[in-house]
Amino acid sequence: MAKILIVDDERSIRRTLGEFLREAGYEVVEAEDAGAAMALLEGAGFDVVVSDIILPRVNGVELLRRIQTVAPEVQVIIMTGEPTVETAAEALRLGAVDYLFKPINKAGILRAAGNAARIKRLEDIRRRLEAENQAHRENLEQMVAERTAQLRESEDRYRSLVETAFDWVWEVDAKGRYTYASPRVFDLLGYRPEEVIGRRPFDFMPEDEARRVKSIFDRVAADRAPFVMLENTNRHRDGRLVVIETSGTPVVSATGELQGYRGMDRDITQRKQADAQLRKLAQAVEQSPACIIITDRKGDIEFVNPKFTQITGYLAEEVLGINPRFMKSGETSTVEYESLWKTILAGKEWRGEFHNRRKDGTLFWEEASISAIRGPSGEITHFIAIGEDVTEKRQLEARYLRAQRVESIGSLASGIAHDLNNILAPILLCSSMLELEESPSARRELVGTIEVSARRAVGIVKQLLGFARGRDGRKQPLQVRHLLREIATIARETFPRSIRVDLACGGAELWPVRGDAIQLHQVLLNLCVNARDAMPQGGCLALRADNVVLDDLFASMCEG
């Protein structure tokens, strides 16, 4: 039930009205003046105030004004014992819900209180509904504002993505005419978006390509199906051809009617060119006359070309994932392999020869270069070895060297004959004198001369035999000093006496070199023979060897 405040300075009236209202089920509170009433109104929630118009200090009309200011939702009933039209009109104008004349009977107060409580209840409902409506309206407005902002943000984001996307985003209507083209079309084809609108994709293709692509698109559109990565060639505004990859999805209305397509185009010209280059490179590697091996950083084989199989007899599937050491013949030292790895791990190219073993056990010479393959950040990821079977080449070189040695011996023949004559003459003379000489001491002297001459002849013959036979040269550490001494000995024994041979080998500090002793011997001897032929009147042949340090520039100019 409603809570009612009775304000009257007469206690009997408060009690009488209070009893009437309490019997009807109302909660009743009493106040004797306006001050007490205002104090109660601040702390408790009253529904109705029943106030006498005449009160001490502050009358009922003024109390009504204050109630309207402090608690406008409270319904006020004004009572008076001296009714006037003006007072009643003023009270009702200020918001009083009813105006009662004293004396007030039970029925009158219950009727007025019931009406006021009902009005208060309806006002509470109205106020609550208005508050709820206002809150709902504000919430709805906020939701609309948020959704509008989100939609605008989404549209801006979509537009930004479309306009800055790497791909050209487009839309066409049911007739295949562009209704939208993102700015990217200018980068792909050289046309501004507004120049594309209203035209068809086929308008930018060569005639044959347009027919081919249109037939595909017509079939797809008839089924209202999407298409993915349809490759097609377009002509750029400047005349060059551009390869494009097109993907699209159908736009269908709520009634199922095809309204067009929406999709994107991507320029794959460079990718196609790169693919062509890769195919060309793959063909070059596959068809290369050189043996090509690619390994990982540890040296395990990841690729071999057909030439590898042709040379070694091993199939690719037999060697993938394993180290090439299975081809070792055992003739290359550990030091040489360590030098190889040190070179390629430093990112430098290594060049050299291997004496390897084929699958059938036969040996072959391979001239190879090994270099590093680097990743995008410069790190070494793989190694590539390019080799050539030089077995036949080495055999030809060996035969050529033997022929050169024989030719050199021929060029030395006159000197050799002269030396042998000089050596044999004392032997023959001493042999004849032995038959005539009887003195033992003289005979011993003649025998000694014969022995010295014979040893000298044996030395010359041994040198010539060793030079003439030779062996297949292999690169190995050697001391040039020994070669020069041997060459100097041959020159002194076979060159004319008018040519003086001087030898200076740099002492014991002369560094060893790595090379082919037979070939170096041949080169030095050829130089000496050329020098002899250039001095028909005699002269000095100087053979000298010294330590020389080559700088990087000079070394880079020398093969190997």
pLDDT value, residue 171: 94
Contact 525, 408 (CB under 8 A): yes
CA 68 → CA 45, 62, 91, 303, distances in Å?
14, 10, 12, 98
Task: Supply the DSSP string of 322-356, one letter for each residue.
Answer: S-GGGGB-S-S-HHHHHHHHHHHHTT--EEEEEEE
Distance CA 458, CA 167 (A): 90
Domains with residue ranges and CATH for the chain:
3-129 (3.40.50.2300), 165-273 (3.30.450.20), 288-389 (3.30.450.20), 395-556 (3.30.565)
Report residue 332 as tokens.
Answer: 């290359």
> Taking the CA of residue 252 as centre, how many other CA atoms within 13 Å lie in the half-sphere pointing to its CB?
12
Contact 524, 530 (CB under 8 A): no
Of 56, 16, 18, 61, the residue nearest 36 (C-alpha):
56
Block mean pLDDT (10 aa), the chain, length 560: 86 89 89 87 84 84 85 86 74 82 87 88 86 87 82 68 74 94 92 95 95 94 92 95 94 91 92 90 89 94 94 94 91 86 93 91 92 92 94 79 64 56 61 67 71 66 58 66 81 82 76 75 80 89 85 63
Percentages (nearest 5) of helix, strand, coil residues in the chain: 50, 25, 25
pLDDT value, residue 387: 92
Distance CA 67, CA 55 (A): 15
pLDDT value, residue 162: 59
Biggest alpha carbon distance in the chain? 200
Report residue 92 as tokens.
Answer: 């009702």
pLDDT value, residue 218: 93
Q: How many angstroms from the chain centroid is the CA of residue 103? A: 101
Which amino acid, one-letter code, is at 455? R
pLDDT value, residue 164: 60
Which amino acid, one-letter code, is at 438? E
